[in-house]
Structure formats: structure tokens, C-alpha cells
Structure 1
Amino acid sequence: ERRPDVRPRHLDHIRRLDEDGQIRFAGPLKDDRGAPCGTVIVMEAEDLARARSVAESDPYLLEGVFEAVEVFESLQVFPELEEQ
């Protein structure tokens, strides 16, 4: 299991994004036994290509903890945003 060794680099990667104000939510997915089975990250990015680039540079992917990443565009409905 490579996860414990790679976790500090993964968290640094996410922390930098959070410090830049890009992260809206991030945390592990867990299976029915409570074991980590993935990660969900909701972030703001200029476009889908940038979001994909961020996901593909995650140490968990680069070091083989994750087999793959999936990136989707989303539209925030709730909580409601104030009109600008």
C-alpha cells in the first residue's frame, strides 16, 4: 500500500490549491468498511482543461495510488450564490 508514503505529498498538493482559494471541498471516499477508496475534490478552475491538469498532477495519481482520475464540470445550485 503506497498511500501512507505518498499522502504527505498529496496533502501538500491539495493544501496549495486551498491556499489559492480553489478548493470548495476535498476529502476521502470510504467503502462500507470505512477504508479509503478514492478522493472527491470540488474545486474552482478557469476551465475544464485546467481542472484536468490539476487532477493529473496529484501525487496519488503520479505515484500509482490512484489508477485513474475523472474530471467533470458542474454547476453550483446550492448553496445559492449571491448575484454579482
Structure 2
Amino acid sequence: MHFMILAYDGTDEGALDRRMSVRPQHLENIRKLNEAGHVISAGGLTNAEGKLIGSVLLMDFESREQLDEYLASEPYVTGGAWEDIKVETCNVLFANAIDA
């Protein structure tokens, strides 16, 4: 199943610091998920000034339960960066790989 995750960071003064403190762990986790075939696309959400305010991910898991297992261990969740997470199922028709 394909899932779209819109995950918004907190809006308090310490939100960006929380994100950046766990970013290395998040990136390592995403790399592992990508190698396992779960990542279709992923990136940061930014506001009009280009400041990071969250993340958008297109993911492929067998079930919502597997997605929830990932979210429960996601460093941006356990580290308190993401405070508002929306998940929708979707049907990805095209995906283009971009090296980051």
C-alpha cells in the first residue's frame, strides 16, 4: 500500500532545534527504509521563507500496521520534532528518483 505522510514540526521556539538534533538519526533511518524498498519519495516541507516546518513522505508498506510501526520508531517522532502527522493512502503512478 502506498501512503502519503504530511508531518508538521512543532511551532514553538525550540522546534527547529529538536528537528536538527535528531536529523542524523532520521536520515540514517530513511536510508535503511529506502534500501528495503519502503521509500518512494521524501523531503522537507518549507514555509514561504524556506524554513523547514515538517516533512512529506510517500511510502510503500504492506499494511497500515507496518507504517505505524515505522512511525513509532521514527526519530522525528521519538525526538519530539513532528507534532502533527497526517496519513493518507494513495496510489502512486509515477516516481522519479532524485539524488539528494
SS in 2 for 1:2: helix
Partner of 2:40: 24
1:4-63 C-alpha deviation (Å, 9 max, x unpaired): 221000101111100111111000010111001110110110011211221232101101
TM-score computed with the length of structure 2 as normaliser: 0.71
Partner of 1:54: 70
Q: Which moved more, 1:49-58 or 1:9-18?
A: 49-58
- Report if the CA contact (8 A) 1:28-1:37 is conserved: yes
Runs ≥4 in structure 1, deviation > 4 angstroms?
A: none
Counterpart code for 1:20 = A
What percentage of residue pairs aligned between the two structures are identical? 33
In the alignment, does 2:28 pair up with 1:12? yes
The structure that has the greater radius of gyration is 1
The counterpart of 1:39, out of the listed 49, 55, 59, is 55
Once superposed, what is the RMSD of the aligned Cα atoms? 1.6
Distance in 1, matches of 2:71 and 2:28, equals: 13
Unaligned runs of 5+ in 1: 80-84
Aligned-pair distance for 1:65? 0.9
Distance in 1, matches of 2:90 and 2:68, equals: 13
- Greater per-residue strand proportion: 2
Unaligned runs of 5+ in 2: 1-16, 95-100
Partner of 1:82: none
Bigger relative contact order (CA 8 A; separation at least 6) = 2
TM-score computed with the length of structure 1 as normaliser: 0.83
